[in-house]
Amino acid sequence: MDLQVDIERQPLLENAPQKIPKTSTQKTMRKALKGTTYLANLLPTGTVLIFQTLSPALTHRDSFRDERGKVRYGFATLNGIWVMDGSVKLHVEEARKYKLRLIDLFHACGSILVFGAIALFNQSVITCLAPKPSEEAKEILGALPIGIGILCSFLFVLFPTQRHGIGFPLSRD
C-alpha cells in the first residue's frame, strides 16, 4: 500500500524535458511581437495604410544634417524647408535648396494615382463606383490598377525624388 501512495505522489511528467530558460533578448523579442499582434488587432490598419500612402503626397518631408551631423526633419515649402525642430536655424540660401519643385508635384500626383489603383483592387470600392458594370467595364476595371502601377513605377524610376523623408536613409554629404 505504501508503494502505491509513493507512486501517486510522483509528478506525472517527471522525465519530461526541462524548459530551457530564455535569454533577455528572446524575452524582449517575444514581448515586442506579442505587443505587435495586440496593436494589429486594435489599430485601424486600413486607415494607417491610407495615411502612409497619402502622407508623402500631401506633405513633402525632407531631412538634412545639421552642423553637428545630427539628422533634422522638415517640410519642403515654396520658400525652402521649414524645420520641425525650432532650435535649428538654416541660412536662407541653405533652406532654399530644399524648396518644392515641379518634380515634387509630379510625385504627389503619381502617389495619388497609385493610391487610387490600390483602391480599385478592393471589390467594395468597385461595387460602390460601378454597382452593375458591363463586361467591358469589368475588363477595364481589372486592367486599370495594373496599368497605373506599371506606368507610375516606370515614371518613378525614370524621375526619382531627391527627398529624404522620415524613415528614409540620408546620405553623408
The mean-pLDDT minimum among 52-66, 77-91, 106-120 falls in 52-66
Over the stretch 151-162, which tens digit does the pLDDT of each residue have? 988 998 898 877
Which stretches does DSSP call E strand in the chain?
61-65, 71-76, 81-83
Q: How far apart, in whole angstroms, are the C-alpha atoms of residue 84 and residue 81?
A: 9
Phi, psi of 143 (to 5 degrees): -90, -25
- The mean pLDDT value for 97-121 works out to 84
- The mean pLDDT value for 55-65 works out to 69
pLDDT at residue 23 greater than cutoff 80? yes
C-alpha cell at 59: 506633405
pLDDT of residue 151: 92
Instruction: State percent of the chain over pLDDT 90.
Output: 3
